[in-house]
Structure formats: structure tokens, C-alpha cells
Structure 1
Amino acid sequence: MSGHSLVFELTSDLIRRVSVTPDDAGCQAVLAARLATAGFQIEQLRYGEVDNLWATHGRGRPVFVLLGHTDVVPSGPPEAWTSPPFEPAIRDGRLYGRGAADMKSGVAAMVVAAEDFVRRHPDHTGTLAILVTSDEEGRSIDGVRRVVEEFRRRGQPIDFCLVGEPSSQRALGDLIRVGRRGSLSGHLVVRGVQGHVAYPEKARNPIHAAAPALAELAATRWDEGDADFPPTSFQISNLSAGTGAGNVIPGALTVLFNFRFGTASSAAGLRARVEECLQRHGLDFVLDWDLSGEPFLTPPGSLRDAVEAAVQACCARRPEASTGGGTSDGRFIAPLGAEVVELGPVNASIHQVDEHIDLAELEALPVLYGEVIARCLEKHRP
């Protein structure tokens, strides 16, 4: 049986499992059984409701990690789908189902590629590892973030990390992520005094008080970006206040906002500038911050060279290197000193109704990942 049919069957098996974050729904048990049969050492790390799988083959440096997740976002109303979201279906040369692109195909391709590599290179240099979590689409607290804390405690190094997130834009390998912006969120509560709208002198409207400050924050040019990252983005995502009655001045206003920032700004600097603005406007406020990840960048080097060469060899194209998009679990791996690159299928349908992956692209994925593994591990053979 070919590796291509193996990746199709494994992807389909994973799609059938309703692994809405953080529920793994048995996906990792399937992966662990296969990898154990291939000679991998299996460790299951469960924190809270989250399953994490750490599978390794070989020993020593370099340590090459394939990183993915088995959890998916909710499907939404099943009736909105052309076929049931958790039943794989083939139409027009595509495989449909929740997770088909993000990222059960990537996880399946990584496992098939790893199986094939250790079969052909049983005495390969270094360590080949697979790390899979069920907490990427959710809070990302007990997934890779928590695993990395354990790795720090153990002194577990990682040299190279290939993340199987759907990075491609129009064709497999046309774009790779070589870094990601940091993400800093704020939960702001502006306190006022509740009262009757007919007696504003007896109340203090937090919406009116906050509006000038929020307008200033929204209009601020935080930085100019740099050669690797665009300028910092500030977005207000939620505003809420009031009792539901039209004749009551609210006692508090809640504002949720987010920064996406590169290396031209720091999280500490952004926090200080926001708090200075709020204080200067005389607001009575409480502000809680959540830094979900610092920006990271993998410069040209061994992993980028290997990925670019593999894409050229397997896909006959030169990939564009980008730091755009949202965040990924690579943000937790990079601080370990690892080179991190994201390479995966086309992302046009992710998180959407009728999510899908092109069948030819699915079949090419394990070959592409296998080429990257070989270029990183075999080139370091003494």
C-alpha cells in the first residue's frame, strides 16, 4: 500500500473523530499506536482536559520536531455543510470534512512521513520527534505551552521544528511562515456611576469618559514595522455596557482589544503606552493583560534552507517567506532556541463550512515532509 493511500486513510480516520477543542476524541491514541509500531518511544502528557503526545525515535542532536494539533474548531450547523462535517467525503478531487486542512491532513502526513523515514533510515542521526496537542484551537494553556514548561524542566532541547499548519495560499508550498507576530490582549473595565439618563449630573457615564481615549488608541501609529514584520496592529474586538434598559446610564464599560506586534515594539512598551493614555484621560479603570506569545523569527539557516529546497524539489516552486497571519504553537517552541518554520496545505477553507483539501495536495504532503526531515537529519550525519 502506498504512502499516499496511507495518508488518505489516516486523515479520513481522524476527521471522523469529533475532536472539537480541547477534546482529542481518541485521535492521539490512533497516532501513538502507529508510531509505537514504527519503533517510536511514546509519552502521553495530559494536563487538565488536554491530551499531548510526545513520540521520539533515535537519540541525541539534532532534535527535529514535527508539530501539530488534533483539535478542531466547531463545525457550526451541520445542515450548512454539503456533507456531514465529521464524515470524510470526496467531491471534485477534494477531501471534505472539519479538520481536512486545519490540520488533520498535516498531522496524518507527518506520521506517514515519519514512519517512512525511520523505515528507510533506522539508524538515522539525531532524534526525530512528533509533538501533537489537543489545545491549539482553544485556550492554548495546557497544550504546547505547558509541554514546553516540562521540556524546560527536563532540559529537553529542540533544534528544528516544522509546524504543519496550513500555510499555503493558492498551491502547496507557495508560502511558508518563518515567524509570527506577538499577540497581546487587554481586558479593560472603565468604571463610572450608574444613574438615570434624565439626571446625568448624578451619574458618570463610562462610555462617554472612555470614548476619547479609545479613539486616540485606535488612531495611534504604534511603530513602522521593520524588514521582517508589518507595523503593529491595534484592534478593539468587543465593547459592552448597560443593563439593557434605554433609560439607565451604565456603571461600567468593558473593552476587549488586541495588539499584533513584531520586533519593532515590545509587549512592555505597548502596555505602558496604553496605560499612560488611559491615565492621561482621567479614567477610573482596571486593566488585565494577556500575552499569548512574543514575536519570533527564524532567519535563513539550516531549517529554512531545507524547507525551501524540499518545496523546490517536490512542488517545483520557490516559496515566499512570510511572518503574516495569526499565531501558532510555534510561538512556544521558538523560545527554546529552535528554528521554526510552518509548512502545510492551502488555507483558503480553514474554519469554514465545507473545509477541504485537494487530494493531490494531500498525497504530496508526506513526501514533502519526508524530504525536509531527510535534509535536516541526514545532512548532520557524521
Structure 2
Amino acid sequence: MTLALQTHSSSDTNHAESVVTCLQKLIRFKSVTPQQAGAIDWLAPQLKELGFECEQFSFNNVTNLIAKLSFGDGPVYAFSGHIDVVPATAEHWCVDPFSGQIKDHAVYGRGAADMKGGVAAMLSATRKLIADISQKEGCFYWLITSDEEGEAEYGSLLIAERLAQQGVQLDGCIVGEPTSHLQVGDTIKNGRRGALSARLLITGKSGHVAYPENTINAAHLSADIVKRLTNIGWQHDEVGSTTSLQITGINIANVVDNMVPAQCEMTFNIRYSHGYKSADIKNEIQFALEGLAQYLTIEWERPCESFYTSHQCNHNCLLTHVEQAVFKVTGSYPLLSTSGGTSDGRFFANSHTQVIECGVRNNTIHQANEHVPVADLLMIEQIYTQLLTNLFNKNARC
């Protein structure tokens, strides 16, 4: 299929086709989490050809890749990405979801935006980076996993642990998640809210409904608990990063209507501001439920810590570099946001390592007919190219 691109030279056209071709190739690997389905096996040789040292390792059906390219002493930055995708069936799709077909000047397919498009664009930007290695300094890591869309137990978590074992300390990490809203570069993530789920077992005392004085109704207790949880005042919320608690399930397994239920199971999820850590959230919940402890058993599930990157007054500030790259390409500075779900950025963020997410638009992710316009793909590739220039060129870094 011929690409209809708004380009100005044959070299520009060839470049656009190479970025698109790379994305199409990645989409055709049916890498439904946690399977890499050949995607990492294909990506590693691409990086080796560029001079990267590649280490590939697997655990519990998850495949991870750590690739390193050194220009000598200098700052250490990484690109973090995932090639796994959520499932997709042909129903409701206008094309085969694993075809990478081009339709109406956009590349369609599962993972086109989340986040194989970011991987393809960064690969193209990396090729440009190493085209001229003069006046370069620092070290560049690629950190790729097939375990982001699932439980994220054996992917970037293990990559971060392995880097720590090797004594690697990142100055910054760029995550290629789709962050843009209306146009590429209008929004980047300089942090994420944390997430924590809980399963609460409420135990009362059953009995005949005609004699409630002899019972403790677990359903009634659940109503009190909902009121307490939803009335918590989150005093440590940061500006633009609010905490919300949502009840996600209430189950009372009572098969007769003349018996007071003795048990009720409740589930809830908290998306919390970077003003908190998970331990703080647990303390707030326990304080809110004070006086009911004898009736409750709580199990905490799927903790995802919050993280936040602020501006730093030094020449290695990743946030500043990303803002400048976006402005250089688009003419506008991006909005900073911590909204949305969780990301693998949390595994690399710490007091030393800045983590910034920057990618294509997220308006079709996880949906039928997920796609990325070719123009958007080229735009994020330009932003990544400018960013890498800023990060590793001695004379370009601010």
C-alpha cells in the first residue's frame, strides 16, 4: 500500500516509510501480554546493529531486554518501553488488529499507540543519534519488557533490580507511553498517581430477620464502611494530583430473605496523589475504620507507588530537556500531568532518577481500531530525535 505523506523530499519520504515499516513490523507480532511473540527477538538485533550491548532474559513467560550504548563518561539516560499489548479480536475492527494496515493515513493495529508506536519512533531517533557519534557523551539504555499490560511482576521491576545489581544509576528515564491529548506533544507525564486495591471481608452474626437484636448485620456494617471510606479527607493531596477512592464491588452471598447476612465482601480501589505513599494510604484507611476492626479482615492488592518529577536546577534536568525538545518541534510547551493509570515509570523513579513519559496521542488505546496517524508518528520521532540530541551532545546540552 502506498503511503500518502506530506513530505518535501525523497529522503524524507524514505525516512517516513522506515518509521512506519518498523511500526507495522512490531504490530504483526501478536505479543499479547506476557508473550513477546518474537517482537523482542526482532528488536534486539536492530539495536545490536547500532552498537548496543544487549542482554535478554526471561522469567515466568516474560521476556526482558536491557541494551546499552556508551559514548564515554557523562549522564546516564534510558528509554523504557513495552511491546506487550492487551488482547484484540477481529470483531468491531475495520482491519485485522495485527496487520498494521494503513488506512486514511494512519497505522492501525493493537499496540499502534500503546506503545509500539513509541518504540518504533525511538528506534528511528536512536539511528539518527548514532549516525554521528562525534561530540557525544554519556550512556544510553534501552529497557524493554513484555509484562506491562498485565500484573507487571516480572518485567520492568526485574529490569530495575538487575540494573541496581550491576551498579547502574540512571540520571533520567524516558517512558514512551501515549501521553498526548489533542495533538502530539501537548501533554507529558512528570509523574503518576499511585494505585492500591483492597479486599475487605466483613464478618457479623447471622440470625432470623425477625430478631435483629440477636444479630450483627454485615450488610448494614458495609453501608457504614462505605460512608466512612468515601468521606475521607485527603489532606496531603498535591495541586493537580487528587486522591479518589472508588468502591468496586459489594457481594453478600445470602440465598434466603429471612436471614440476616453474617458476611459481606467489599472491594475498593484508591488512586492517590504523589503526596502519599502506599503505607500512608493504608494508615488513612485504618484510621477511618477505627472501631470496626473486630468485624474486618483486609487484604491489600496490586500496590503501585506514586512518583513525581519536578524541575531541577542543573544541566541534566530531564524534565527541562523534554520540554525544550517539544517546544523546538511543535512551537509550544507541553502541559505537565500526573493523571491517568499507572505505568512502568514507577519502577525507575527515585530521589536521583527523573522519569518523564512522552508519547503519541492516547485517544484510541485499548480500543477497537486502535491507530496512530502517520503524521503523529513522525512528530513524536522528531521530538525524540531532538531530545536525544539535547541529552547526549556535549555542545547541545543546556
TM, length-normalised to structure 2: 0.88
Rounded to whole Å, the distance in 1 between the matches of 2:388 and 2:321 is 8
Cα distance change, pair 10–203 in 1 and its aligned pair in 2 (3 A): farther
Tell me the residue number matched to 2:90.
78
Q: Unmatched 5+ residue regions in structure 1?
A: none
- Equivalent runs, 1:146-295 vs 2, <5 Å: 146-193=158-205, 204-223=216-235, 225-227=237-239, 229-242=240-253, 250-281=261-292, 283-290=294-301, 292-295=303-306
User: Retained in 1: the 8 A contact 2:30–2:98?
Assistant: yes
The letter for the 1-side match of 2:139 is: T
- Where 1:331 maps in the other structure, the secondary structure is helix
User: Retained in 1: the 8 A contact 2:78–2:143?
Assistant: yes
Q: Deviations over 1:117-146 (max 9, x none)?
A: 112226731111111111111101111112
Rounded to whole Å, the distance in 2 between the matches of 1:127 and 1:10 is 24
The letter for the 2-side match of 1:68 is: G
User: Retained in 1: the 8 A contact 2:113–2:361?
Assistant: yes
Q: Unmatched 5+ residue regions in structure 2?
A: 1-10
Cα distance change, pair 256–309 in 1 and its aligned pair in 2 (3 A): same
Which of 39, 43, 51 is the matching residue for 1:39? 51
Cα distance change, pair 68–195 in 1 and its aligned pair in 2 (3 A): farther
Q: CA deviation at 1:285?
A: 1.7
Rounded to whole Å, the distance in 2 between the matches of 1:18 and 1:341 is 28
Rounded to whole Å, the distance in 2 between the matches of 1:194 and 1:14 is 57
Matching of residue 65 in structure 1 with residue 75 in structure 2: no
The 10-residue stretch of structure 1 (126-135 or 237-246) with the greater mean CA deviation from structure 2: 237-246
Tell me the residue number matched to 1:98.
110
- Where 2:318 maps in the other structure, the secondary structure is helix
- Where 1:80 maps in the other structure, the secondary structure is coil
The letter for the 2-side match of 1:15 is: I
Alignment RMSD: 2.3
Q: Deviations over 1:231-288 (max 9, x none)?
A: 3211122222315666665443222212222243343232122123334135522112
Q: CA deviation at 1:97?
A: 0.9
User: Retained in 2: the 8 A contact 1:31–1:111?
Assistant: no
Matching of residue 315 in structure 1 with residue 327 in structure 2: no
Q: Deviations over 1:200-234 (max 9, x none)?
A: 6675432222210221211222226223x423211
Rounded to whole Å, the distance in 1 between the matches of 2:253 and 2:275 is 38
The 10-residue stretch of structure 1 (119-128 or 44-53) with the greater mean CA deviation from structure 2: 119-128
User: Retained in 2: the 8 A contact 1:191–1:284?
Assistant: yes
The letter for the 2-side match of 1:144 is: S
Which of 285, 288, 311 is the matching residue for 1:300? 311
Rounded to whole Å, the distance in 2 between the matches of 1:378 and 1:51 is 32
User: Retained in 2: the 8 A contact 1:162–1:342?
Assistant: yes
Rounded to whole Å, the distance in 2 between the matches of 1:245 and 1:39 is 69
Rounded to whole Å, the distance in 1 between the matches of 2:102 and 2:109 is 9
Tell me the residue number matched to 1:130.
142
Which of 14, 18, 22 is the matching residue for 1:6? 18
The letter for the 1-side match of 2:197 is: S
Cα distance change, pair 83–268 in 1 and its aligned pair in 2 (3 A): same
Rounded to whole Å, the distance in 2 between the matches of 1:158 and 1:225 is 28
Matching of residue 141 in structure 1 with residue 156 in structure 2: no
Cα distance change, pair 118–292 in 1 and its aligned pair in 2 (3 A): farther
Tell me the residue number matched to 2:66.
54
Which of 73, 88, 108 is the matching residue for 2:100? 88
Aligned length: 380
Rounded to whole Å, the distance in 2 between the matches of 1:26 and 1:252 is 48
The letter for the 2-side match of 1:73 is: V
Cα distance change, pair 357–247 in 1 and its aligned pair in 2 (3 A): farther
The letter for the 1-side match of 2:352 is: G
The letter for the 1-side match of 2:62 is: V
Cα distance change, pair 208–316 in 1 and its aligned pair in 2 (3 A): same
Q: Could you list the structure 1 runs, at least 4 aligned residues long, displaced by more than 6 angstroms after superposition.
A: none
Matching of residue 324 in structure 1 with residue 339 in structure 2: yes
Q: Deviations over 1:163-194 (max 9, x none)?
A: 10000000000011111112222222212345
Matching of residue 21 in structure 1 with residue 33 in structure 2: yes
Cα distance change, pair 198–49 in 1 and its aligned pair in 2 (3 A): farther
TM, length-normalised to structure 1: 0.92
The 10-residue stretch of structure 1 (360-369 or 258-267) with the greater mean CA deviation from structure 2: 258-267
User: Retained in 1: the 8 A contact 2:186–2:333?
Assistant: yes
- Where 2:154 maps in the other structure, the secondary structure is coil
- Where 2:348 maps in the other structure, the secondary structure is helix
Q: CA deviation at 1:98?
A: 0.8
